[in-house]
Copies of this chain bind each other. A is one copy, B any other.
Amino acid sequence: MAEDEKYALRIRGALLEKKILCVNVIGSPGCGKTTLLEQTAKKADFSFAVIEGDLETSRDAERMAALNVEAFQINTKGACHLEAHVVENAISSLERGYAKRCPGRPLDVIFIENVGNLVCPAEFDLGEDFKVAVSSTAEGADKPLKYPMLFASARVVLLTKTDLLPYVRFDMEMFRRDVRGLNPQSPILELDLTSGAGVDEWLSFISSKIEEKRGDVGR
A positions within 8 Å CB-CB of B: 28-31, 54-57, 59, 78-80, 115-120, 123, 135-136, 138-140, 142-143, 145-149, 161, 163-164, 167-168
List residues of chain B with CB within 8 A of the CB of A145.
56-57, 59
Minimum distance in angstroms from A167 CB to a CB of chain B: 6
Minimum distance in angstroms from A73 CB to a CB of chain B: 12
Minimum distance in angstroms from A151 CB to a CB of chain B: 11
C-alpha spacing A120/B54, complex, angstroms: 13
C-alpha spacing A148/B30, complex, angstroms: 15
Known: A80-B117, A120-B80. A146 touches B28 (CB 8 A): no
C-alpha spacing A30/B147, complex, angstroms: 12
Closest B residue, CB atoms, query A79: B119
C-alpha spacing A117/B26, complex, angstroms: 13
Q: A78-B149, A116-B147 are in contact. List 8 more A-B contacts (CB 8 A).
A: A29-B143, A30-B136, A78-B119, A117-B119, A120-B120, A138-B161, A163-B167, A164-B168
